[in-house]
Amino acid sequence: MDKRVYLLTIVSFVVGMVELIIGGIIDLVATDLGVSVGLAGLLITIFSLTFAISAPILSVITARFERKRLTIITLLVFLLGNIVAVFSPNYTVLFIGRIISAASSSLLIVLCVVMAANIVEPRYRGRAIGIVNMGVSGSLVLGVPIGLMLGNAFGWRAPFIFISILTLFSITGIYFFMGRVAPTKQLSLSEQFATLKERKILFAHLTTFILIAGHATLYTYLTPFVKTTMGLDGTWVSIIYLIFGIAAVSGGAVGGNLADRIGTKPSIYGIIILFACAIFAIPYTTFSLPLFLVVMVIWGMMSWTITPPMQSYLMDSAPASSNIQISLNNSSLHLGIAFGSTIGGFVIEQASVELNATIGGILAIVSFGTILISMKESKLRATS
């Protein structure tokens, strides 16, 4: 397989890392800029929301551009967004920087996947796309502990300096090692969203949206949660995020194996049930750090184990538009992060961070209902 796929994986990791990197340093940002923790949490919400909306729109607008040149230009815009974050004097400027970073990173993820699929032989295409997506999932869960360690050591702006440096290396790598890649045919926005008219497809995407929202309701505010309920310091918080990140990344492999061995539907049911039980149990484990870590690992694994079987289910349900379904499912994921971050911030402002896990569990139960509807529709269609 073409080794340049790993370069694209690195790029996807770098640009994906910036989304949740605020999560670990949210209290530092809030204190320095003089805003509440809930308002600081909106920096994640606006990123995820912009990402989800921008991805299909920018893909259509830039469809005719040569891929390598477009990637370099978009990386430069991404770099600009992070530089704005580094030098932002107040919350408003940082907010604008997050929008710039989100819009550019949404296009970069699509470009990395498209180029990976085009530079390898057809027999390696699926593997290449999977490797790039591992970079994305890895960045989403490891971005927080990396940001937390740098933020605690050097201040909350340090993670954005780190990402800016990595972006410069990414631009250099793409410029020297990536050849020209011709643009591919891109469906219009209306054609992409027309697939959502099918109830089984719509409710499958809703499942991802609602479950990840439940996850983000607590995960976005995990730092204030563990500090409030367990009295842990910055070092222990870093360790907790690192353990969570390792569990979440391994969850992708677990989800793929489950889907292959027992099928997508039983996998999805089981994962959602385990996720709900784990996140509901979190507030009742804070009296014991070892017990908390065990339950947190289950929660962390299940939060990302869901993606492979869910995307496989979508591909089986709509084989003619499988690529579109993967794209829309990623948008559902990011919208879920945005929604969950907003809900979590509202709970903190109106009640207490200790309630965030319970709200997340309730959303997980709702997601179980939506997948039941989707699979019932799928079964009815198969029978008819």
Q: DSSP characters for 291-312?
A: HHHHHHHHHHHHHHHTHHHHHH
pLDDT band at 321 (very low <50, low <70, confident <90, very high): low
| Interacting residues of 327 by C-beta distance below 8 A, sequence separation 6+ | 55, 56, 59, 110, 192
Domains present along the chain, CATH in parentheses: 1-186 (1.20.1250.20), 191-384 (1.20.1250.20)
Question: Tokens for 128?
Answer: 């290449």
Q: Residue 256: its pLDDT value, please?
A: 72
> What are the Cα distances from residue 292, in Å, to 129, 169, 220, 280, 286?
35, 38, 17, 12, 6
| Lowest-confidence segment of 70-84, 156-170, 291-305, 312-326 by average pLDDT | 312-326
Does the structure show a pLDDT above 60 at 21?
yes
Gap between the Cα atoms of 61 and 36, Å rounded: 37
In this prediction, residues 116-137 reach a mean pLDDT of 74
Does the structure show a pLDDT above 60 at 273?
yes
Among 268, 291, 265, CA closest to 278: 291
| Lowest-confidence segment of 8-12, 54-58, 352-356 by average pLDDT | 54-58
Gap between the Cα atoms of 324 and 320, Å rounded: 9
Gap between the Cα atoms of 264 and 260, Å rounded: 7
Does the structure show a pLDDT above 70 at 15?
yes
Q: Residue 295: its pLDDT value, please?
A: 96
| Lowest-confidence segment of 4-8, 29-33, 257-261, 374-378 by average pLDDT | 257-261
Among 300, 307, 178, CA closest to 241: 300
What is the 8-class DSSP label of residue 351? S
> What are the Cα distances from residue 77, in Å, to 84, 98, 178, 356?
11, 12, 19, 35
